Structure 1
Amino acid sequence: MTEAFTAVDVIRTKRDGGALSDAQIDWVVDAYTRGAVADEQMSALAMAILLRGMVANEIARWTAAMIASGERLDLTTVSRPTVDKHSTGGVGDKITLPLTPLVAACGAAVPQLSGRGLGHTGGTLDKLEAIPGFRTRLSNEEFVRQLQTTGAAICAAGEGLAPADRKLYALRDVTGTVEAIPLIASSIMSKKIAEGTSALVLDVKVGTGAFMKSADDARELARTMVELGKAHDVATVALLTDMTTPLGYAIGNGVEVAESVDVLGGGGPADVVELTLALAREMLDAAGLPDADPAAALADGRAMDSWRALVRAQGGDPDAALPTAAETEYVRADRDGYVAGADAYPLGVAAWLLGAGRARKEDPVSAAAGLVLHKRPGDQVRRGDVLYELRTDDAGRIPAALAAAGGAVVVADAAPERRPLVLERIA
């Protein structure tokens, strides 16, 4: 076929600081998806976008072109109001696991399409696959039916959903263009809009353990995504949340499932409960259920019942034992004092090196590997107290993990000031 544009002309437009036209965007996204634009050409365009940026109407059109590259799910047959949540990723961020069944227990339907971990940040699908039998792949028909019957589903996006994003995401990861805010925003929102949800709450992480290290960058990303959602008739709100310290005590796959079940049972770490409830309230309000009480659903067992129903619906056994690691290494305090900090990034890298994460998408992960904190910022410690433990099936991984985590947990004379978990709300 005769192409409407050449890739070189599109690249030059953005390289020289120009705005891409609607026609250029529609063509280049479609041509890349069908192979008429080569990886090296899209790499050059992605780098030009990273360096030159995009204006609002360019980002909106790019997102629309990504959605148009595939199918769009129809959730109109689901009788409950639909609302989803997306996190930009962090260390110990298991919030999707307790949050999804909790919001379903309060009357909404949660169509949660999730991803796998890469590098120091964990992936929801990897965590769920620590549960014996749990299926993370559902057909569109199974997905919609489960929303109707159970009120929640957590699974991988189907192959037909925004295929342009799947191809471009893999390319960005190996070309140093992951941080391009227009491409992050369009990647996230194209999938969320294509899944058919009516409302969306975004958890945009800020700090050392997040992709967005500065509040200004996180705020720009959040505002961009909120505007994209509204432009596509999806009620969207974003919370900026702290990712300087890992969420909870557990970092890994099976260990994060166990901690999530504790939350669903009415216990669990205070910060995980706080963020779960904050996001649940936002989701229920966006779904038109502002009077629902998620704290009560945690306390009276409805959230746990919803979790068990979700796990069973996807082939898992909610009563099965989670995998345990063969090797454990303890790291202890060398002085008395208070934990002054626990840096999320090196702790996440350590868990990854233990086998909990992957360097490439095709790498396997260990369900049992991970890192478990025994102390968090503000806790008093005595010399010899365990600060954290490393878990792995391969003892040969421990030295590199110890080196990565060294110095991440700091003991000082005084306790630090408490940092707020939710930093800002953008709507």
Structure 2
Amino acid sequence: MLDITHKMVRQYADDAFIIGYRFSPEEMEVPGIRFDDTLYLLEKLAARGVDYLHFSVGATLRPSIVDTQDPTPLIEKYLAMRSDTLAQVPVMGVGGVVNASDVNEALDHGYDLIAVGRATIAYPDWTDRIAAGENLELFMDSTQREALNIPEPLWRFSLVEAMIRDMSMGESKFKPGTFVEKVQDDTNELVINVSLETDRIADIELASGPEDNVEFVTSFEEIRTRILDANTPHVDAITGATSQSEAVKKAVSKAMLKSSKALAAEEGADPNETKSFDVVVIGSGGAGLAAAIQAHDEGASVLIVEKMPTIGGNTIKASAGMNAAETRFQRVKGIQDSKALFYKETLKGGGNKNNPELLHRFVENAPEAIEWLATRGIMLNDITTTGGMSIDRTHRPKDGSAVGGLSDQRPGAQYQQTQYRRDARHLRQRHPV
């Protein structure tokens, strides 16, 4: 592949064109790539001519994810083991670079160049801010996707989504302070200090636990970073350290609950007050929002409880469109379709393993769902063909944007969303969600 790339460069580019290779040094799987395998390949590439190497890890100074007892950063192992030939190739680092101190630390450990990823998504003017001496925090306001020009699929990418912080709660979310929490994982009792500021989780410190266990400390730092970046304990557990991750998340949740109760008491709230709703919806995905909107439109008082910092659930990640047959949008465009054909093609696409009763119900009600959305201002009037379909049947927004992103765009949704969150906050002061 490298030889072919060189050939294409000679044919179509000039001498200024450079060729690089980005690599992840290890895999946790068995069998999987190990550091020695990677070094062997890099030596071969260097011998055949490559202009730079891109060392891709979650943090520039990350140690091995295979040999978890060795705290040595992989970049240091790379520098010590590479040949003179490989040493002639500049190496670029990426992973967890937010501030100037991160850049300097990485350069001090032997990287020749540093790449900045998520920080430039949150701060498009990152270079100007760093040049001005700013110290940045890696988060984005949950309302600023459009202002930051971030496409919906990227906004919902897991590593980017972890940076989203709910800023709509104002300055009265937590009572600032440090809360000492005792929790238990499978084998250890942990004492964790959780520091909260008015609108965020400021720090998480392991006060007591197996501090000498490199694997434990590494996992703790990973779950700590995830929680701080997301400003919520509702993050994915660390692979291979589920019990420990859940213990840390529980400690943070307990601290948040104590802080919210303390703040409510200061503000004169009655901890015994009972709030009443006609309908309580758990989860703000497409089904939850549809149920809440329908109930609201029929006169019910509704509370939506959502644990994540943004509404939409998994539905908001949907990007292609919504399939339906015999819709008015198809008729307007002269598309001849039938529910029978829709059923047949969907059954075939599922390898005939579909539940026939559920599939019939889906096919019969899909046009009504498209119309229900349309009457509420969500127009899926651009129609195309997607996998397994022989006819234009996939309904999506006219501008081609992700269909899931419209789930919270109903007129008035922002007001309702804020009100739901405020109501949910009062519930959390009495009951952990």
TM-score bracket relative to the smaller structure: under 0.3
Report the structure number with the largest CA radius of gyration: 2
Higher relative contact order (Cα pairs below 8 Å, separated by 6+ residues)? 1
TM-score (norm 1): 0.27
